[in-house]
Amino acid sequence: MKRIACWGAVIAAVSGGVGCSRPATEAFFPLTVGSSWTYELVTEMPNPPVDSKLVMSVDRAIKFDGKDVVVRRSASGVEYYLEQNKDGIRRLASRTDLEEDALLDEHPRTVLPEPPTVGAEWEAMTVPFLLQRNAEFPRELKYRHKTMMRYRIEAEHETVEVPAGKFTDCLRVKGQTSFKIFKDPQQGFSDQPLISTEWYCKGVGLVRFDRDEQVNSNFLTGGKIRYQLVDYDL
């Protein structure tokens, strides 16, 4: 079932908020309460993550930290607090089911700017998703390393084909960064790149996300990961 509505109107009904900056049918990242997206996970790495599916939904519209936000929730119990205004959409905070209150992000994280035009650039904090050390605990580097990634809208009107269908009006967003890490005695400390590519399609949202964290090291393991849309309900 396809439900098209204005997320801003929903917020206004709840808390006297503002109206829409972009109709849901035109949005590259719809925030209509009740919407949901299901992604399948494809990995190219040893010992890939156990989860093979990700389900996201827009759960509710609330007041948070004095702002009108919508809460985007994963089926695994993680919530993301998103604000939309004239400058675009940004994430303000997150919360897991083990936490009573949402935790403010150190820096609000831009999801997409407004207007979302080719050449637009922004920065946001990220961590390695896949990189692991082979002989340390915890193995995952995401607990120890943060870095600022530079994002850029590289193309528009792209066609993307995923299990959910073929979409023809899509933005391609590229994110790139690197950080210094000790790779092994031969290489010593050297730059490790992290590369993300995301496709946002008009009226649907994120349909594909690729992350490249390949590494040439005897001490580290990396790889590639892809989330691709298999079903959605707006």
Q: Tell me the CATH number at 145.
A: 2.40.360
In a domain, 2, yes or no: no
Q: Total domain count for the chain?
A: 1
The SS3 assignment for 116 reads coil
**Residue ranges in the chain modelled with pLDDT below 50:** 1-23
- What's the confidence (pLDDT) of residue 81? 98
Nearest Cα neighbor of 126 from 99, 82, 84, 91 is: 91
- Report yes or no: 7 and 24 within 8 Å, Cβ to Cβ: yes
In a domain, 1, yes or no: no
In a domain, 74, yes or no: yes
**In the chain, how long is the greatest CA-to-CA distance?**
62
In a domain, 121, yes or no: yes
In a domain, 72, yes or no: yes
- The contacts of residue 81 (CB under 8 Å, 6+ apart) are 64, 69, 70, 71, 91, 92, 93, 94, 95, 102
The SS3 assignment for 8 reads helix
- Cα dihedral 68, 84, 12, 74 sign: negative
As beta bridge partners, residue 37 has: 56, 232
- What's the confidence (pLDDT) of residue 180? 86
Percent of the chain with pLDDT over 90: 63
Q: What are the two backbone dihedrals, phi and then psi, of residue 104, each rounded to the nearest 5 degrees?
A: -65, 135
Tokens of 72: 């985007």
DSSP letter, residue 137: S
- What span, in angstroms and rounded, lies between the C-alpha atoms of 188 and 181? 8
- What's the confidence (pLDDT) of residue 59? 96
- What's the confidence (pLDDT) of residue 127? 87
Can you give the residue range of the structural domain that contains 168? 7-233
- What's the confidence (pLDDT) of residue 49? 65
- What span, in angstroms and rounded, lies between the C-alpha atoms of 43 and 47? 9
Before 115, cis peptide (omega within 30)?
yes
- What span, in angstroms and rounded, lies between the C-alpha atoms of 114 and 88? 4
Tokens of 123: 């920065």
In a domain, 160, yes or no: yes
pTM for the model: 0.84
In a domain, 91, yes or no: yes
